[in-house]
Amino acid sequence: MEDKEKKLLELQREQQDQNLGVATESLNRLPIFQPTLKPKVETRTFENKYGKITIEGRLGQAHKSLLETILFKRKAFALREEENKICLKILYDEYEVRKHMSQGSKYNYETYQRLIKDMIKTYIKLETKKLVIEGTLIARKLTAKNYSHKTKSNLPALAGKQIPFAVVEFGDVASLLITKELKFTYDPKPIMALDSGISQALVRYLKTHRAHPTAGYHLKELVENIEGQMQEKRWWKIREYLKKDIDLLKKLGIVIDFKDDRVIVIESHRRK
């Protein structure tokens, strides 16, 4: 085993009990990420009982999936706090992240790069009862200097080639939320299998609640937490999106009764 591999294993052992999660309260309860897979570049303001946000840029559920997967598949992290500023860096294997995000086909590298760039460009202002912060989710993406992995291939020209890991340096918003807020850990892959962004956002919202009403939620009121007030046409369109995902939602422990417009979270799935 090479020195670099030993150094990484030692670092991983040191950090194995330190939980960064893949999501936080605000990242899932406020629609920082639009509840769609096709977000537009725009300036939008939203407020609910959990806080207020203003977003300038483009962030959707595909961006959220990438952010969660980077955290879920991370190799190690570095946290630095100085002059009232927190800087969080994540070391990860780009191939592993893209492979985990694939749904039956190879995850497009150009899409991956575009999502990273969107998270670097998009400016966020966030205000909750506990935090007031503004900035970006990602400050920059770098190539790791000291950590890499060897490729495995049957082709002699590719076998044993050293591929550097990637490093993402989180911006002010993501760094503060991940280090200061209540965190949640789950595998993002089953959520990515859902066809619609509204279904994905709904699951993520519910995953930040440890207790759910026995009688369930009112569907429209629940959706308004991530969508806002809706015109009737939009509301019926969202219902259609959710109906298409009804079976996959049930596998994730979320049962929707469209006749009574109720949402029940199945007990066995509540803490997963």
Please give the Cα distance from 247 to 66 (Å, whole number): 24
Domain ranges of the chain: 3-189, 194-269
Angle, CA 45 vertex, CA 71 and CA 200 arms, to 5°: 40
Cβ-count burial of 128 within 10 angstroms (0-12 exposed, 13-18 middle, 19+ buried)? middle
Each of the 272 residues of the chain gets a pLDDT tens digit; together they read 466 666 666 666 766 767 789 999 999 999 999 999 999 999 999 999 999 999 999 999 999 999 999 999 999 999 888 777 889 999 999 999 999 998 766 678 899 999 999 999 999 999 999 999 999 999 999 998 877 766 665 555 555 567 889 999 999 999 999 999 999 999 999 999 999 999 999 999 999 998 899 999 999 999 999 999 999 999 999 999 999 999 999 999 999 999 999 999 986 554 44
Quick one: pLDDT at residue 272?
Answer: 47
Predicted pLDDT of residue 70: 97
* pLDDT for the residue 48: 94
What pLDDT score was predicted for residue 14? 67
